[in-house]
Amino acid sequence: MYDLKGKVAIITGAGRHHGLGEGIAKRLVAEGARVVLTDIGTPKGERFAKEHIGTSAEMNEIVAEIRAAGGVAVALTCDVRSESDVQVVIDRTVKEFGRLDVFVNNAGVGYIMKPMLELSQEDWDAVLEVNLRGVFFGTKHAARQMIHQGSGGRIINITSQAARHAFPDLAAYVSSKHAVVGLTRTAALEFGRHGITVNAVGPNHVTTGLGARQNEYRAKTQGISVEQLLANRAATIPLGRVGKVSDISAMCAFLASDQAQYITGQAFDVSGGQEMHN
Ligand SMILES: NC(=O)c1ccc[n+]([C@@H]2O[C@H](COP(=O)([O-])OP(=O)(O)OC[C@H]3O[C@@H](n4cnc5c(N)ncnc54)[C@H](O)[C@@H]3O)[C@@H](O)[C@H]2O)c1
C-alpha cells in the first residue's frame, strides 16, 4: 500500500515480542523496506530489568521471523541513552545497506509507575534519559546522515496519549512525552529545508509488554481486574476498542512513505478518538 522499496529504516526498542517496535519493523518490511532492529539487549540495573526490556535473544528471534518470511532485517544492540551507541548503529546501517531513509524513535520506559512524592531522581532520570534524551540522539544523528545523503528522510517519534494528557503516577513519562512533541516540532522546523519530515505518533493503550505492566498497576490501584480495566477503557473510546499494534504500524508506514511528503511537525493521536473523552 505504501511503497517503501529501496528504503532503509532503523527502529529503536524493537526487540520485544508483541511490542510496537516489532510491529512497526514488520510492517515496514511488508512495504518493501530493509530494516535494522535495535534494542538495549541486556538488563542494566533494576530500572532496566529483564522483564521490562527486549533482550538480544528476543530481538534475534524477531529478525529470524522477518528473514524466514523473505524480509531483509538486521539486529543491533543500541542503548539509546548513549550518543555513541546511536551513532554506531547509524554508521553500521549505512555500511550494511548504503543509506538511511527512516528512523523510528520507539524505545520507551513507561513501566516506572509511582506517585510523584515517591518518585526518585533515579526514576526520573531513567525515564527522561530514554524517552527524551534518546529521541534527541536518534533525531540528531538520523538527520545528520539524511542531510549528508541529500535526498530527504523521515523521522517518526512514538509518543503517547501522555503527550497531550496527564495520567497519575506517571509524572516523568507524561513529561517526557509532552517534551518529545516540542522536540518533534523543532526538528521539523530545522530539517524541513532538507526534505526531512519529523512527526510524532501517539498511541492510546496497546497491550504490549509495557502496556500489560501499566494495566496490572492500574487494575491494582483501582481494585479491579485487568479485564474490567480494559472493558472500562474501551467504553471511553468512540471506536469501541483499545489500540492494536497494527493501528500504530499502519500510521508509521504512511508517514514513512512518499504519500506523506507534505506532512511535518505534527503530533497524531492514533487512539480511536479516545482523547475526546479525556
Ligand atoms: N503500549 C502502550 O500502551 C503505549 C501507549 C503509548 C505509547 N507507547 C510507547 O510506545 C513505545 C513502545 O512501547 P511498547 O508498548 O511497544 O513496549 P515494549 O516494552 O514492547 O517496547 C519498549 C522497548 O524500549 C526498549 N528500551 C527501553 N530502554 C531502552 C534503552 N535505554 N535503549 C534502547 N531501548 C530501550 C525496551 O527494551 C523495549 O523493547 C514506547 O515509546 C512507549 O512509550 C506505548
Domains of the chain: 8-204+244-267 (3.40.50.720), 207-242 (no CATH)
- Compute, in angstroms, the gap from residue 109 CA to the centroid of ligand 1: 6
Q: Among this protein's residues, is 177 annotated catalytic?
A: yes
Return the best residue to mutate from 50, 78, 210, 215 for the ligand 1 pocket (most ligand atoms within 8 A of CB). 210
Tell me the pLDDT of the chain (278 aa) as tens digits. 899 999 999 999 999 999 999 999 999 999 999 999 999 999 999 999 999 999 999 999 999 999 999 999 999 999 999 999 999 999 999 999 999 999 999 999 999 999 999 999 999 999 999 999 999 999 999 999 999 999 999 999 999 999 999 999 999 999 999 999 999 999 999 999 999 999 999 999 999 999 999 999 999 999 999 999 999 999 999 999 999 999 999 999 999 999 999 999 999 999 999 988 65
16 within 8 A of 57, measured Cβ to Cβ: no
Task: Give the span between the Cα atoms of 224 and 222, in whole angstroms.
Answer: 6
Q: At CA 127, angle to CA 76 and CA 142, rounded to 5?
A: 40
Q: What residues contact 82, with CB distance under 8 A and at least 6 apart? A: 137
Which of 44, 177, 244, 262 is an active site residue? Answer: 177
Tell me if the pTM is above 0.95: yes
3-class secondary-structure state, position 11? strand
CA torsion, ordered 263, 35, 37, 132, to nearest 10 deg = -20
Q: What residues contact 125, with CB distance under 8 A and at least 6 apart? A: none
